[in-house]
Amino acid sequence: MKKTSKNLLLLGCLIFSGDLFAASTVALNFTGNIKAATCNITGGNNIDIDLKNISADVFKNTNSGSPWKNFNISLNNCSRYINQVKLTFKGTADTADVASLYKNQGTAKNLAVQLQNGNGTTALGNQKVLQVPTNGQANINIPLRTRAFSSLGNATPGTISANITATITYL
């Protein structure tokens, strides 16, 4: 009887202790966003370049240009995962040289706007691409230069205006 009582007691403990060994479940829900690695453009998305007042005499001859005006597109807070910045330039090409000149939308005639990389080795006409390595830098200055240019010569007095968009792609 003692043995049976012990067995019954043991069996009862096992039956009633089921809650002690019960399993619970926990649902794990993961959320997040994957963001493209980018940079901020210092000074905003619009850069105004004033070519100042230029004498029409500068453009008397064919293939004549004003002095170069240097400027930068400056990027900051670049992701360390960006290896290269690619700029694609787009605007209305000038018919005198579609590869390197943009049409003047101002009132001066026989005049275009010329855009190059900072050291003048790459013409940046319509649809041209400039690739710049980042070298792991968080801040990047992309030097460029521009000027008024006359392929035909005999530019007439008036205004100079050209709108060029640089689309930046991060690689």
pLDDT (tens digit, 9 = 90+) per residue, 64-76?
A: 999 999 999 999 9
Residue 91 lies in a domain: yes
Question: In the prediction, which pLDDT does 16 show?
Answer: 56
Residue 20 lies in a domain: no
More confident residue, 17 or 134: 134
pLDDT at 17 over 80: no
Contact 96, 155 (CB under 8 A): no
Question: In the prediction, which pLDDT does 23 show?
Answer: 84
Domain count, the chain: 1
What does the angle CA 33 – CA 38 – CA 41 come to, to the nearest 5 degrees?
A: 135
Question: In the prediction, which pLDDT does 22 show?
Answer: 73
More confident residue, 31 or 18: 31
Residue 3 lies in a domain: no
* Residue-range definition of the domain harbouring residue 125: 40-170
Residue 130 lies in a domain: yes
DSSP per residue, 25-93: ---------------EETT-S----------GGGGSSTTEEPPPEEEEEEEES--TT--EEEEEEE-PB
